[in-house]
């Protein structure tokens, strides 16, 4: 099973969901060898439910994924914390929607939720938790409580960071963190525009149908990662196109 764990359903938080572009992204993913992906829209995106409603209305939910013409779409969200860290939560859709409600209830004065408050919420063991692009905005990683580290399932090596900082630097930093806390590494394309999709791939030994199965594969070291040779040009093009579209 080949999956991208970090894909946004919209080109930006404020931009409307575009079903044609979404389906085009799936076709692009297939061409690059993916057979599944995870929608991890920003939790505070305008009309967050548009993508979910589209999937729910048009495709069957089989176990934990939507079957889009034989292609698996798992569901999740990206949560930004007060500490400027981004966390990917991936699970059954109803668990994601319930967790999102809890986050808004526990936010203060429209600030992002404190990471300690976030991880004290009732988060199901079925949820896959990935620390996204951990070094994007930090020279040194901020100190986290041990109980938070223990709840994180994996660290992400992100296509945008590789484009911006280089593979060698990002791989070294994430690898050092991984060894220190004995956390596995996954990859994510961080796609907002379809040409960026699958620049990062996760290769699982098992054809998973549930998030629990995916968690077990990652935990057991059965998740390989691979980056596209054309990563830099595809990420660069996606960034430029996003800026042009969102300025209109």
Sorted by where each starts, the structural domains of the chain and their CATH numbers stand as 2-247 (3.20.20.140)
Q: What does the pLDDT look like over 143-152, one tens digit per residue?
A: 788 899 999 9
Q: What does the pLDDT look like over 35-86, one tens digit per residue?
A: 999 999 999 999 999 999 999 999 999 999 999 999 999 999 999 999 889 9
- What gap in Å lies between CA 218 and CA 202, rounded to an integer? 10
Q: Is 77:92 a contact under the CB 8 Å cutoff? A: no
- What gap in Å lies between CA 59 and CA 7, rounded to an integer? 18
- For residue 181, pLDDT over 90 is answered with no
132-171: burial string, b at 16+ Cβ within 10 Å, e else: bbbbbeeeeeeebeeebeeebbbbbbbbbbbbbeeeeebb
- Token pair in block for residue 108: 């203060």
Q: Per 3-state DSSP, what percentage of the chain is helix, strand, and coil (rounded to 5)?
A: 40, 25, 35
- For residue 140, pLDDT over 60 is answered with no
- When pLDDT is averaged across residues 97-123 and rounded to a whole number, the result is 93
Confidence (pLDDT) at 15: 87
Q: Is 208:183 a contact under the CB 8 Å cutoff? A: no
Model confidence band, residue 229 (pLDDT cutoffs 50, 70, 90): very high
Model confidence band, residue 138 (pLDDT cutoffs 50, 70, 90): low
- When pLDDT is averaged across residues 77-101 and rounded to a whole number, the result is 95
Confidence (pLDDT) at 41: 96
Model confidence band, residue 135 (pLDDT cutoffs 50, 70, 90): confident
- What gap in Å lies between CA 130 and CA 88, rounded to an integer? 5
If you search the block for the tokens 């620390």, which residue do you land on? 131
């Amino acid at each position: 099973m080949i999956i991208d764990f970090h894909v946004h359903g919209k080109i930006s938080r404020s931009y409307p969901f575009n079903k044609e572009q979404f389906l085009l992204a799936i076709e692009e993913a297939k061409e690059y060898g993916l057979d599944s992906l995870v929608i991890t829209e920003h939790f505070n995106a305008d009309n967050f439910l548009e993508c979910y409603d589209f999937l729910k209305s048009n495709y069957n939910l089989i176990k934990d994924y939507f079957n889009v013409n034989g292609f698996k779409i798992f569901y999740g969200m990206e949560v930004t914390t007060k500490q400027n860290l981004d966390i990917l939560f991936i699970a059954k859709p109803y668990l994601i929607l319930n967790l999102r409600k809890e986050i808004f209830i526990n936010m203060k004065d429209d600030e992002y939720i404190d990471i300690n408050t976030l991880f004290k919420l009732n988060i199901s063991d079925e949820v896959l938790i990935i620390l996204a692009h951990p070094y994007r905005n930090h020279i040194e990683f901020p100190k986290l409580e041990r109980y938070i580290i223990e709840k994180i399932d994996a660290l992400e090596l992100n296509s945008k960071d590789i484009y911006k900082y280089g593979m060698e630097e990002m791989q070294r930093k994430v690898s050092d963190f991984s060894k220190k806390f004995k956390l596995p590494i996954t990859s994510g394309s961080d796609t907002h525009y379809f040409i960026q999709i699958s620049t990062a791939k996760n290769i699982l030994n098992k054809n998973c149908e549930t998030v629990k199965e995916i968690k077990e594969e990652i935990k057991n070291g059965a998740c390989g990662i691979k980056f596209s040779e054309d990563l830099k040009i595809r990420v660069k093009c996606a960034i430029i196109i996003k800026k042009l579209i969102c300025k209109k």
